[in-house]
């Protein structure tokens, strides 16, 4: 029965392409394609918007074969139904990268976090922007840090590497945890657990825990990481006990996405103890530092001046 139906369908399609079908035969083709289209299981997050996909592929076929040739309208429905059938059989098809829906997480004065579809968790610092897909398709899991700082705790999946684009560099991992800081003039990656590969054009470095990749002035180098960034500042209360002002500033830059401007005479080696609550505002932390030291820290937009 299936073989007979297939033969009849091919016969009618061939007749239609030659414009030899009767009105009844053309209606039969149209109704069959419409039925397959309506009943096909379609997952919009993976395959795109059904009507747009069928319309776009239909137009591409016309353009590639003959600009002036007119095709039966049922072809659009048959295309969409066929895509759904292929995916149902386990054949992966991605009609267009344009149809991969991307979401954006943007923070203002406080940090935020998100759990991605693969189980990975991203802690986004204040004044930062992360772009990520609704779900990961294909052989790689790709996201983009467009601005600011983030801590990534990546779920292990050896078959699907996790790729982060941030400015001029690309970070590639399988399952690990690390920081990325992106500003106008530099980008850095600091590894907490696991191994990470960082590349930029023809440069590449491999990182182990407590190591940092720094990209400045088109040059990618590897260093030992600042110990103040190897703690869970992104999800826990933090006590910085008898540390230098430089270490405090480094942590606050990551957490709040601000820039510090030290006036002449201020020593970055000044020792202090600071308690930073997970949900604390930058204003509260600066008040605390001003109270326990002889320093005067003032915030103006995204710049903190230290006098």
E-state strands within the chain: 102-106, 112-115, 121-124, 129-133, 141-153, 162-166, 169-173, 177-182, 186-193, 196-200, 203-207, 211-216, 219-224, 238-244, 259-262, 271-276, 297-300, 303-306
210: left (phi over 0), alpha (psi -120 to 50) or beta: left
> Is the torsion defined by CA of 73, 12, 81, 57 positive or negative?
negative
pLDDT at 15: 74
For the segment 128-150, what is each residue's pLDDT rounded down to a tens digit? 999 999 989 888 999 999 999 99
pLDDT at 99: 47
Residue where the block lists tokens 């991992």? 173
Query: pTM above the 0.75 mark?
Result: no
For the segment 105-126, what is each residue's pLDDT rounded down to a tens digit? 999 888 899 999 999 999 999 8
CB proximity list for 202: less than 8 A, separation 6 or greater: none
Say what angle helices 50-65 and 74-88 make with each other, to 10 degrees.
120
What is the mean pLDDT of the segment spanning 9-18?
67
- Report the C-alpha gap between 168 and 186 in whole angstroms: 9
Residues written for the chain: 307
For the record, the structure tokens of 222 come out as 């590897």
Residue 93 has a CB neighbour count (10 Å cut-off) of 13
Return phi, psi of residue 99, to 5°: -90, 0
For the segment 29-77, what is each residue's pLDDT rounded down to a tens digit? 667 666 655 655 555 555 556 566 556 655 655 555 554 444 555 555 5
pLDDT at 301: 86
| Domain 101-225 in this protein, CATH class | mainly beta
For the segment 172-218, what is each residue's pLDDT rounded down to a tens digit? 998 899 999 998 889 999 999 999 999 998 899 999 999 999 999 99
CA distances from 178 to 36, 50, 103, 153, 209 (A): 48, 38, 22, 7, 9
Residue 86, helix vs strand vs coil? helix
The domain locations on the chain are 2-96, 101-225, 229-306
What is the mean pLDDT of the segment spanning 157-183?
93
pLDDT at 231: 74
For the segment 221-276, what is each residue's pLDDT rounded down to a tens digit? 999 998 777 777 777 888 889 999 998 998 898 888 888 999 998 999 999 999 99
* Domain boundaries 229-306, corresponding CATH code: 3.55.50.30
CA distances from 110 to 130, 247, 274 (A): 14, 20, 19
Beta-bridge partners for 72? none
Say what angle helices 23-39 and 74-88 make with each other, to 10 degrees.
40
Q: Do domains 101-225 and 229-306 have the same CATH topology?
A: no
């Amino acid at each position: 029965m299936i073989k007979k139906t297939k033969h009849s369908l091919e016969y009618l399609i061939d007749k239609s392409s030659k414009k030899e079908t009767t009105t009844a035969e053309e209606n039969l083709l149209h109704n069959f394609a419409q039925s397959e289209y309506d009943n096909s299981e379609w997952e919009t997050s993976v395959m795109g918007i059904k009507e747009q996909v069928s319309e776009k592929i239909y137009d591409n076929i016309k353009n590639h074969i003959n600009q002036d040739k007119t095709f039966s309208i049922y072809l659009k429905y048959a295309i969409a139904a066929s895509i759904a059938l292929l995916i149902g059989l386990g054949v992966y098809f991605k009609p267009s990268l344009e149809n991969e829906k991307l979401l954006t997480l943007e923070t203002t004065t406080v940090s935020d976090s998100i759990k991605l579809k693969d189980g990975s968790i991203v802690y986004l610092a204040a004044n930062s922007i992360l772009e990520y897909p609704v779900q990961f398709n294909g052989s790689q899991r790709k996201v983009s840090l467009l601005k600011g700082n983030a801590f990534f705790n990546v779920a292990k999946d050896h078959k699907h590497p996790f790729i982060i684009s941030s400015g001029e560099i690309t970070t590639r991992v399988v399952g690990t945890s690390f920081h990325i800081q992106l500003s106008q003039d530099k980008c850095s990656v600091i590894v907490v657990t696991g191994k990470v590969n960082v590349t930029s054009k023809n440069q590449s470095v491999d990182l182990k825990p407590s190591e940092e990749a720094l990209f400045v002035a088109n040059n990618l180098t590897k260093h030992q990481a600042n110990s103040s960034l190897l703690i869970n500042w992104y999800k826990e209360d933090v006590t910085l006990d008898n540390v230098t002002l430089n270490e405090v500033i480094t942590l606050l830059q990551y957490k709040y996405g601000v820039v510090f401007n030290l006036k002449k005479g201020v020593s970055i080696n000044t020792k202090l103890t600071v308690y930073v609550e997970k949900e604390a505002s930058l204003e509260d932390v600066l008040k605390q530092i001003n109270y326990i030291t002889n320093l005067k820290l003032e915030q103006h937009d995204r710049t903190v001046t230290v006098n």
